[in-house]
Amino acid sequence: MRSNEKTLLLPLVFGVLSCLCPVLPKTRPGHFISRRALVNQDQDSSLPEQIHLSLGSQSNDVTVVWSSSVGGQGSVDYGTSLDNLASKSTSSVVQLGQNSEQAARFIHRAELKNLEPGGHYVYRVSGVSGSKSDVFAFDVPHQQPHRPDVFLVVADLGLRTKSLQFLVHEVLNYKDKYEAVFHIGDIAYNLDYEGGNLGDEYMKRIQKFTSRVPYMTTPGDHEREMTQGKDTFYHYRHRFSMPNAPWPMTEDSLWYSINIGHTHFISINTESLDPGTDLGMKQLDWLTRDLSEANRHREFQPWIIVMGHKPMYCTKSVMEQLCDKETSPIRDVLEDLFYENGVDVYFSGHKHCYERSWPLYKGRVFQKNYINPMAPVYVIIGSMGYEYLVDLQKSDPYWLAFASADRSKELFGRLIVHNSTSLLWSVHVANTNEEVDKLFVIQKSHGSFGTPGPGAFESKQEEKSIKDNLPLEPFYVVDGREPPWHFQYRQILLSLFVFCMSLFLFLFLRHSRVRKILRL
Ligand SMILES: *[C@@H]1O[C@H](CO)[C@@H](O)[C@H](O)[C@H]1NC(C)=O
C-alpha cells in the first residue's frame, strides 16, 4: 500500500470505531468533570448564600442553614408577614476546613423554634456588615388529622441531573404544598469536589426550593470523604443540620427520626451498619429503641417509613450490588427488625433506577397486592442519577412488582399520606410530570408483622389462609433475563449505517479513475 493510500484507511478506521461505541463502557458515577469555567458572579462575599431549611427535632422547629465567604455571626429575622419580622434568631458559625479551598467557608445555622403548626412564616437572612438576603417564606408542616401529608422523595440527585429545574418547579408549584423534600443520599456528586465549589454550586441551584420547603437529607456513599484513611462525611456533617443531632453533626448522629403528621419517618446511614463496629452497633441500638418507641405511639403515627441510601433488595444490573445477592449485610441486620416492628415502607436510592417490590420478607412474597400488607414494601427511587449511570434491570425476580430504567425519564416520588389507613405513592417524570407508577397502600391494622424467623411465611399462610397460594420462591431465584433488544437497536442501526458509509467511501476512493480525478 502506498503511503498516500494509507490516508484512505481513515474512514474505515472511523467506521470501525463508531461501531464499537455502543459497547464501550459508560461513565461511572462519581467522576464529575470540572465545570468551574462558569463565572462566579457573587457580587458581595458577605451576602448569605445557599440558604436551606430543614426540620428540627419536631416538625414545628425549623432550622435555617446558609454559607458566606466572610466570617462573623449572622441572623434570621422572621415573622408572620413582611411587615412583621419581629423575631430574631442569631446563627452559630463554623468554618469549613477540609476540601474547602474553593468553597464559601463559613456555614451558619439558626434555629426557629416552636413555630405554629401549619403556620406561614416570612424570613430574611442577614450576614455581617448589614448584608441581607432576599425574603423567603415557608409553611410549617400542619398537624391536622384530616388533611393529607404530602412529601417529595428523591435520591441520587446531582448537578448533572438534567431535570433539576423541573424538580424545583414541581416542589414550588404542586397544587398541594409539599411539607418536606426527602433526599435519600448521594447529594450533588460530590459536596466536597473541586475544593467544595461543586457542593456550593449545587446548593445554590436548589436554593429556590430549599429556602422554602424543608430539605431532609440522608447520607449516602458519595457523602463519605476519605481523610487520613477515615470516613468523616465532613461536608455532609457541616452543610446540613438534621433532627436529634448536634451541629456540626457528628459521625455518630447521622441517623434521626421525626414525626410528621401521620408518619414516623426514620433516616438511617447505611454506610455504618456493621454490627462489628462501634458506629454500627450504636446505630442499630438506636434504631431498635426508636422502632419500639414508635410502636408505642402508633395510635398517633400509624405509618412507619424508613429511608436509607442503600437498598435491601434489588434486581441485577450493570453494577453488582449486595442487594442482588442471596445474603446482604444490610438485610441481615435490618430485615428482622423491620418485620418485627411493622415498618410499612423502606425507601432507598443508590441504584439509578426505579424498583418496587411486593410485600416481602426473607426473599418471599407474602401477597401480590397492597391491601393490608403482611410485610414491608421496598422501593428504590434512584432515577435522578441516570446521567452518572443507568442501572438497567437484568433480572426479573419474583418479588419485583414494577421497575423502570429509562434514561430519558428522570423520576421523583410523591408520597401522600391520606390518613391512618391509606397511603398513596406515585412516581413521575420530572420534566413532563407523566405518572409512571402508582401504589395505593391500605393498612387497617398497623403494628408488628409477627415473630421474625424462617417460619414467618408458613405461619402467615395458616393464619391468614393466603388464597393465591404463592410459591415459596426465594428471592435469589431470578431469570437471567437480558435487557430487551429494543433498548439498543437505534445505536446498532446507526453504527451499521456509519460503517457502511465509510466502507463505501473507502472503496470509492480506491477506484483508480476517482483517484486520477482527485489527483491522489
Ligand atoms: C382515608 O383516605 C382515603 C383516600 O382519600 C379515603 O378513601 C378513605 O375513606 C380515608 N379513610 C378514613 C378512615 O378516613
Cβ contact 206:187 at 8 Å: no
2 found inside a domain: no
* Å from CA of 148 to ligand 1 middle: 10
Residue 414 cell numbers, joined: 410523591
Looking at residue 20, its pLDDT comes to 59
Into how many domains does the chain fold? Answer: 1
Nearest CA to ligand 1 atom 8: 422
312 found inside a domain: yes
93, with CB counted inside 10 A (0-12, 13-18, 19+), is: middle
* Å from CA of 419 to ligand 1 middle: 6
Looking at residue 17, its pLDDT comes to 63
431 lines ligand 1 (CB under 6 A): no
Report how far residue 195's alpha carbon sits from residue 186's, in angstroms, rounded to the nearest whole number.
Answer: 17
* Å from CA of 418 to ligand 1 middle: 7
Amino acid at 221: D
Cβ contact 181:214 at 8 Å: yes
Cβ contact 383:410 at 8 Å: yes
Looking at residue 99, its pLDDT comes to 87
Looking at residue 293, its pLDDT comes to 98
Pocket test of ligand 1: the residue of 144, 149, 418 to mutate, having most ligand atoms within 8 Å of its CB, is 418
Closest ligand 1 atom to the C-alpha of 424? 4
* Å from CA of 117 to ligand 1 middle: 22
Pocket test of ligand 1: the residue of 150, 415, 421 to mutate, having most ligand atoms within 8 Å of its CB, is 421
Residue 41 cell numbers, joined: 458572579
422 lines ligand 1 (CB under 6 A): yes
DSSP code of 408?
T
305 found inside a domain: yes
Looking at residue 425, its pLDDT comes to 98
Q: Which residues of the chain have pLDDT under 50?
A: 1, 22-42, 477-483
User: What is the chain's alpha carbon radius of gyration, rounded to the nearest angstrom?
Assistant: 26
Pocket test of ligand 1: the residue of 422, 426, 439 to mutate, having most ligand atoms within 8 Å of its CB, is 422
300 found inside a domain: yes
Pocket test of ligand 1: the residue of 146, 371, 419 to mutate, having most ligand atoms within 8 Å of its CB, is 419
Q: Which of 385, 386, 394, 379 is nearest to 316 (CA)?
A: 394
Cβ contact 306:346 at 8 Å: yes
Nearest CA to ligand 1 atom 6: 422
Cβ contact 374:460 at 8 Å: yes
418 lines ligand 1 (CB under 6 A): yes
Nearest CA to ligand 1 atom 12: 419
Close Cβ partners of 512 (under 8 Å, ≥ 6 residues apart): none
7 found inside a domain: no
Closest ligand 1 atom to the C-alpha of 418? 2
Looking at residue 366, its pLDDT comes to 86
Cβ contact 191:30 at 8 Å: no
CATH code for the domain of 267: 3.60.21.10
* Å from CA of 353 to ligand 1 middle: 31
Report how far residue 329's alpha carbon sits from residue 312's, in angstroms, rounded to the nearest whole number.
Answer: 9
9 found inside a domain: no
Report how far residue 63's alpha carbon sits from residue 203's, in angstroms, rounded to the nearest whole number.
Answer: 16
Helix ranges, 345-464 (H)? 456-464
Angle, alpha carbons 297-340-331 (nearest 5°):
120
398 found inside a domain: yes
Nearest CA to ligand 1 atom 7: 422
Looking at residue 75, its pLDDT comes to 96
Helix then strand then coil, % of the chain, to nearest 5: 25, 25, 45
Domain that holds residue 386: 148-453
* Å from CA of 292 to ligand 1 middle: 27
Looking at residue 11, its pLDDT comes to 60
Report how far residue 375's alpha carbon sits from residue 292's, in angstroms, rounded to the nearest whole number.
Answer: 17
Q: Which of 251, 249, 252, 221 is nearest to 323 (CA)?
A: 221
Q: Which of 4, 137, 2, 19 is nearest to 78 (CA)?
A: 137
440 lines ligand 1 (CB under 6 A): no
Cβ atoms within 10 A of the Cβ of 83, count?
8
102 lines ligand 1 (CB under 6 A): no
Looking at residue 53, its pLDDT comes to 98
37 found inside a domain: no
DSSP code of 377?
E
Three-state secondary structure of 84-111 = ECCEEEECEEEECCCCCCCCCCEEEEEE
* Å from CA of 203 to ligand 1 middle: 38
421 lines ligand 1 (CB under 6 A): yes
